[in-house]
Amino acid sequence: MPETTPNGAPYPVADDPNDVPGYLRQLAEWSDENLAAGATLNDGTMAAALNAGGVFADGIAATIAGARDAALSDASRVLAQLAKAQRGPVTVVTLGSSSTGGVGATIASRRFVNVLAARLQAAFPSGIYGYEPPVGDLTGAVERTLPGVHVLNGGIGGTTSANYVPSGTLAQIAVVKPAVVVHMIGANNYFFGTPAATFEAELDARLTEVSTAAGNNPLQVVCSTYARPDVAAPAVPWQDFVEAMQAVVTERSDAIYVDGLTPFEAAEASGPGAADPLDLIEPDNIHPSDAGHALMAARIADAFDLPAPTASRVPEVLDRYSRKTLGNTETGHTYEAQSSGVFVPNGSALTCTTAGNVVVETGFSDAEVSALVTYVPAVVVGVIAKSTDANTRLGWYFNGPSGRLELYRGATIVNWTTSIALNPGQEYHLSLVAVLDKLLGFLNGRQVLTHTLAPGESATYSGHTKHGVRCNTANASVRIRCLNISARS
């Protein structure tokens, strides 16, 4: 549009440049005033609009608003947020009760939150070679800075619509500034017989609190799920809760609804006495099984119109800890002992019988190495990334003698965590992400360390493609489980 009308009068400045319908109304009203004052316009289209008067202003604004709302489907509103992931961080927060927290899943990677995160990251990769952020814990999280879809789980077991977003959660939301917030709540309200009207009011209040805390108008996704089969005689039908969710979303411009109930109903896995032939629900008749978590993640991903998952590009996943002694060679996997390291099966875990390292050649230098590791005060033990030999490695270790979690470059400590209380004999989830010159250290899903290699260090380690574990002392108390080495092409 030119800056002035054909007779030289300036067009009005938009009050809000993002409000197209509002500006059209403003423009038409301005035009009415100019026509009344005798202005002459030569632009035929504008003249026709002006001659139509105020009724046209109302009509065109309503028409454009309707077209805009139709174009911005629920899925496209989500995708518009996620599409920023290659240029910068996009944080997704999940809120709810125990199922959101992951109860029912056998390991963290099978929680619906983690499965959904993998789908989101596959559709919207970070753009950083070999790196997608691991799912983290909302508690204690800091604002993300690296590109990619960052998923932070804030599920709290036993909560209802009244208390699933406590003040501490709101404080963390203010810190991480999510673009999308997923809410899955109501199962415990159903158990306690909360009146549907009370549930609706509380849910709406929680969404408002989340929006206020975030300060960036996040898109909020309200997702229903199955009716708990353990509630034999519900005081309030589950459908009343579902309709309350839909009513909340209908009255808000910042929220969408995802139907997570229908797939479970179709599988006969919802409501009192559900047959559950596909074993989607755990034997407690409350929480989803691994299969139930997978179904829920698939339902949300489908509602977001994400592409179907493709075959994994991870060339090596070293998780056969219960069947193989690490330090031997097996077809398809080269388990290489460094400094004579040997780890042997001990029940469901590995224990170190000979001090040293065991690594696997992946062919890729950028990787995430994670494991469940028992902290033993007398032992240095943890995971290794970007190794080439026993002395050239990047390690993320429990240093038992110092009582710290430390980042090693070879035998040199280059960074460490502070103010973390480690309990002897307790199992912790360690994860080290090594991408280009960036090292991210995680403890129990929470990022606790960021380190950037110096240029010379980066040149030394950039081409190393072996990843694994290290223990400096043979000790039967040290246990390593669920060792997972993921290196992406």
Instruction: Give the pLDDT score at 215.
Output: 94
Instruction: Give the pLDDT score at 388.
Output: 77
pLDDT digits (tens, 9 = 90+) for 393-418: 888 888 888 888 888 888 888 888 76
- Sheet (strand 356-361) strand order: 329-330, 333-338, 356-361, 466-471, 380-387, 394-399, 404-409, 412-416
Q: 329-487 belongs to which CATH class? A: mainly beta
CB 431 within 8 A of CB 442: yes
At 47, the pLDDT band (50, 70, 90 cuts) reads: very low
Look at residue 167 and tell me whether its pLDDT is greater than 50. yes
CB 398 within 8 A of CB 422: yes
CB 154 within 8 A of CB 172: yes
Amino acid at 473: T
pLDDT digits (tens, 9 = 90+) for 170-212: 999 999 999 999 999 999 999 999 999 999 999 999 999 999 9
Instruction: Give the pLDDT score at 464.
Output: 83
What average pLDDT score do residues 248-271 get?
94
Amino acid at 337: A
3-state secondary structure of 92: strand
Helix orientation angle between 238-250 and 196-214, rounded to the nearest 10 degrees = 40
Which residues have CB under 8 Å from 185's CB, separation 6+?
95, 96, 97, 159, 160, 161, 164, 203, 206
User: Using CA of residue 150, residue 451, residue 474, residue 376, what is the dihedral sign?
Assistant: negative
Tokens of 272: 């009192």
Instruction: Give the pLDDT score at 94.
Output: 98
* Domain extent listing, the chain: 20-71, 74-303, 329-487
Burial class, 4, CB count within 10 angstroms (exposed 0-12 / middle 13-18 / buried 19+): exposed
Decide which of 228 and 24 is more confident. Answer: 228
Which residue, 355, 241, 368, is CA-closest to 314?
368
Q: How many C-beta atoms lie closer than 10 Å to residue 438's C-beta?
A: 16
pLDDT digits (tens, 9 = 90+) for 72-120: 567 778 888 888 887 789 999 999 999 999 999 988 888 999 999 999 9
**How far, CA to CA in Å, does 65 sit from each of 10, 22, 317?**
25, 9, 50
Residue 249 CA neighbour count, 13 Å, CB half: 20
Superfamily name with CATH number, domain 74-303: SGNH hydrolase (3.40.50.1110)
Instruction: Give the pLDDT score at 430.
Output: 86
| Element (DSSP H or E) covering residue 439 | strand 438-443
Look at residue 321 and tell me whether its pLDDT is greater than 80. no
Burial class, 21, CB count within 10 angstroms (exposed 0-12 / middle 13-18 / buried 19+): middle
CB 23 within 8 A of CB 14: yes
Strand partners for 475: 352
Question: Distance between CA 110 and CA 100 in Å, rounded?
Answer: 12
Decide which of 480 and 29 is more confident. Answer: 480
At 320, the pLDDT band (50, 70, 90 cuts) reads: very low
Tokens of 169: 């959660």
pLDDT digits (tens, 9 = 90+) for 345-374: 776 677 888 888 888 777 777 888 888 888
**How far, CA to CA in Å, does 224 sit from each of 42, 103, 216, 239, 330?**
56, 17, 25, 10, 46
CB 140 within 8 A of CB 445: no
Q: Do domains 74-303 and 329-487 have the same CATH topology?
A: no
Instruction: Give the pLDDT score at 419.
Output: 64
